[in-house]
Amino acid sequence: MADKKSQHYDGSDIQVLEGLEAVRKRPGMYIGSTGLPGLHHLVYEIVDNSVDEALAGYASRIDVTIHPDNSCTVIDNGRGIPVDKHPKYKKPALEVVLTVLHAGGKFGGSGYKVSGGLHGVGISVVNALSKRLKVEVKRDGGIYEMEFSRGKVTESMQKTGNSKATGTKVTFWPDPEIFDTIVFDHETLAKRLQQMAFLNKNLKITFTDQRKLDAEVEEFQYSGGISDFVKYLNEGKEILPGLSKPIHIESALDDTVVEVACQWNSGYHEVVYSFANNINTVDGGTHLEGFRTALTRTINDYARKQGIFKEKDQNLTGEDIREGLTAIVSVKLTNPQFEGQTKTKLGNSKMRTLVMQEFSKGFAEYLEEHPAPAKEIIKKAQGAQKARNAARKAREATRRKGLLETASLPGKLADCSIKDASMTEIYIVEGDSAGGSAKSARERSFQAILPLRGKILNVERAGLHRSLSSDTIQSLITAIGTGLGDDFNLEKARYHKIIIMTDADVDGAHIRILLLTFFYRYMKPVIDAGYVYIAQPPLYRLSIGRKHEYIYNDDLMQKKLAEIEEGTKYTIQRYKGLGEMDPEQLWETTMDPKNRTLLQVTIEDAAAAERSISELMGSQVEYRKDFIQEHAKEVRNLDI
Ligand code: 0RA
């Protein structure tokens, strides 16, 4: 096999000798955590290997399947993992790939191997953390199979048939001894696979979740690549005239690829995601810096050259220019350096210069050739500049009034008695009646209740300034205590659990999404810190004889009903709102830390959050109408 490493050994080979035992002892070191993100990491690891085969030009499709027993199969039509004898280990290369820990996943070092960072720890890590793993390789005219358990060979490699095709099929069963949960989350996997397809133009990825009764094959394939990604993120938004096709700049130099797609909408938010080797660099880095610098400079140069600025040293700031911008910056490079605590910031400084150069060149050309959209982009930025000056004045006025100070807590807040924020929680409750129930139900030493009257303002449409003038938002900000925007300070949080508790109906869902929008836009660090939760009130109470059971979703209810034997008498109480529960029931099912289930809100996929928020609330009225009509059956009194 193409093992370049055997030619010059260096320090990194010491890691090669480390056994898979080390992986089982300290899984977090290799996959980040043993929670749900770590579990998903196993899938990404295999898929990344298949994507590498695609990037190298050998594979064109990847099929991912989750089976009813929570095992996962990944099939690609690449070259297949080599099966011939490895010169150093004197074993089939397939066995070496699956049982020897490789630093950085550089094993095989084939021409264009770009994975790295968070992923690329190697397929052997997945093997080490799987109760069972089966691999089937089609290569060199044959079909080869092999099996493992917890990283150890259980069936040595055997040729089981002939085939002219090539490719790799891996099925693994995550080890319940390692993971807190082995139940994959459908949405998280689907979103990531879709993202992979956006980032790798034309690559076909399918996803089948056989756990679902009506399992459909989801297909992701995009001929427009990241331009399609940008269009997807901007769906339902009003696009600036002349920009319906995103600006797409791509350049390949030596072993590096720089790609940027961008499009402006009439909204006020900046949505820019950056990737390095298909990894979402949540903390940005040099590629993002290069893009931002180039964007600001190129627009200002162009506007000056066109005589758009009245005064000589007039300038638009980067922030002004990025208002309403949706963009994807994707780079592929060998030896990416990932920095920061979560290794999600690109550090290679050559990418700053490279993205800056390449994007400047392409974008300046675009502006020259497309004067109409160029004018629109500048007009939009000038509007932002005006609004920013006005908002600053308004904010200064608000600050003087002391609205963002914690001195005067809102009257509606039933605060807890403990002052140590790390021990306390606040329930944000919809409506005064549910608020009343929650106040009676709570354990007042550590649980505070803030009832919200009416719908909170639609922050997406109103913008920060108008939202601040709403009473609801003001009491929310004051109760939480962190302030927001430039004045935000996480250490001032008055509670370390902020729990959104709404009715289990459409209105409740709407209020929840409004609250999440607010936190996402203006208090993102509280989400990052893991402070925001969603309470899970039950939907039903099932009584059989004297036994009562609370049921939290429709699927479970169906299952329960199917399990009840014929003849048995039962009654079902459906809770339409929190107000229908008496305080004891509310405590027992939803607020008692011993019984309740809280969903922690994460920004695992900020792109998805952004999208669901704008689908419901974006500025384009037509789209909102469509959305609401589509959901008309479920919707009652939805405030449009
Ligand atoms: C080692 C070397 C080569 C390919 C692979 C591994 C490989 C790994 C995976 C994992 C999933 N799908 C995969 N496809 C290929 C290079 C083989 C060659 O040079 O022919």
Q: Are 64 and 43 in contact (CB under 8 A)?
A: yes
Query: What are the residue ranges of CATH 3.30.230.10 in the chain?
Result: 226-385
- The pLDDT tens digits of the residues spanning 1-46 come to 333 333 343 333 334 446 899 999 999 988 989 999 999 999 999 9
Q: Range with the lowest mean pLDDT among 65-79, 163-177, 440-454?
A: 440-454
334 or 169, which is more confident: 169
What pLDDT is attached to residue 60?
95
pLDDT above 80 for 552:
yes
User: Per-residue pLDDT tens for 353-369?
Assistant: 999 999 999 999 999 99
Instruction: Count other Cβ atoms within 10 Å, centred on residue 411.
Output: 6
Mean pLDDT of 506-526: 79
Contact between 512 and 523 under an 8 Å Cβ cutoff? The reply is no
198, containing H or E segment: helix 186-199
Tell me the residue length of the chain.
640
Q: Which residue has the tokens 């879709």?
A: 194
Q: Is 3 or 541 the better-scoring residue by pLDDT?
A: 541
Q: Which one from 415, 430, 588, 604 is the annotated catalytic residue?
A: 430
Architecture of the CATH domain 407-537+582-606: 3-Layer(aba) Sandwich (3.40)
Task: Say if ligand 1 is within 6 A of residue 49 CB.
Answer: yes
Residue extent(s) of CATH 3.40.50.670 domains in the chain: 407-537+582-606
* 98 pLDDT higher than 90: yes
Q: Quick check: 636 pLDDT over 50?
A: no
Alpha-carbon distance of 66 to 335, in angstroms, equals 32
Identify whether 507 is a catalytic site residue: yes
Residues 6+ apart with CB under 8 A from 25: none
**pLDDT at position 610:** 55
Q: What is the pLDDT of residue 187?
A: 92
pTM beyond 0.75, yes or no: no
Q: Which amino acid residue places its CA nearest to atom 12 of ligand 1?
A: 50
Tens of pLDDT, residue by residue over 561-614, are 888 888 888 999 888 788 888 899 999 999 999 989 898 888 764 445 556 666
Percent of the chain clearing pLDDT 90 (strictly above): 58
Q: Which of 320, 319, 330 is nearest to 228 (CA)?
A: 330
Dihedral Cα 533, 538, 539, 544, nearest 10 deg: 170
Instruction: Give the per-residue pLDDT at 179.
Output: 97
Average pLDDT, the chain: 85
- How far is the centre of ligand 1, averaged over its atoms, from the C-alpha of 163 (Å)? 17
Architecture of the domain delimited by 226-385: 2-Layer Sandwich (3.30)
Q: Is 430 a catalytic residue?
A: yes
Query: Which pLDDT value is given to residue 472?
Result: 75
- State which of 5, 6, 47, 52 you would mutate to test the pocket of ligand 1, scoring each by most atoms of that ligand within 8 A of its C-beta: 52
**Catalytic residue status for 175:** no
3-class secondary-structure state, position 544: strand
What are 132's two structure tokens? Answer: 């069972």
Tell me, what's the pLDDT at 504?
Answer: 76
Q: Tell me yes or no: is domain 11-220 CATH 3.30.565.10.
A: yes
DSSP 439: H
DSSP H or E run through 517: helix 506-522
Ligand 1 centroid – CA 81 distance (Å): 4
Mean pLDDT computed over 151-169: 97
Q: How far apart are CA 259 and CA 246, in angstroms?
A: 12
Residue 608: per-residue pLDDT: 54
pLDDT digits (tens, 9 = 90+) for 390-399: 777 766 665 5
Catalytic residue among 505, 580, 605, 615: 505
| Ligand 1 touching residue 169 (CB < 6 A) | no
Q: What is the mean pLDDT of residues 429-434?
A: 81
Give yes or no for residue 557 having a pLDDT over 50: yes
For residue 19, report the distance from its CA to the centre of ligand 1, in Å.
21
Check residue 239 and report its DSSP letter: B
- Residue 625: pLDDT band by 50, 70, 90 thresholds? very low
Work out the average pLDDT over 260-270: 93
For ligand 1, the distance from its centroid to the CA atom of residue 130, given in whole angstroms, is: 20
Confidence of residue 510 (pLDDT cuts 50, 70, 90): confident
Which residues are registered as beta bridge partners of 142? 139, 162
With cut-offs at 50, 70 and 90, classify the pLDDT of residue 387. Answer: confident
Q: Which residue has the tokens 């590629």?
A: 287
Q: Is the pLDDT of residue 623 over 60?
A: no
CA-CA distances (angstroms) from residue 510 to 221, 531, 630?
32, 21, 15
| Among 177-186, 450-459, 464-473, the least confident range | 464-473
- Catalytic pick from 63, 323, 415, 503? 503
The average pLDDT across 200-212 equals 96
Lowest mean pLDDT among 88-102, 107-121, 320-334, 544-558: 107-121
pLDDT at 425: 97
- pLDDT for residue 235 is more than 60: yes
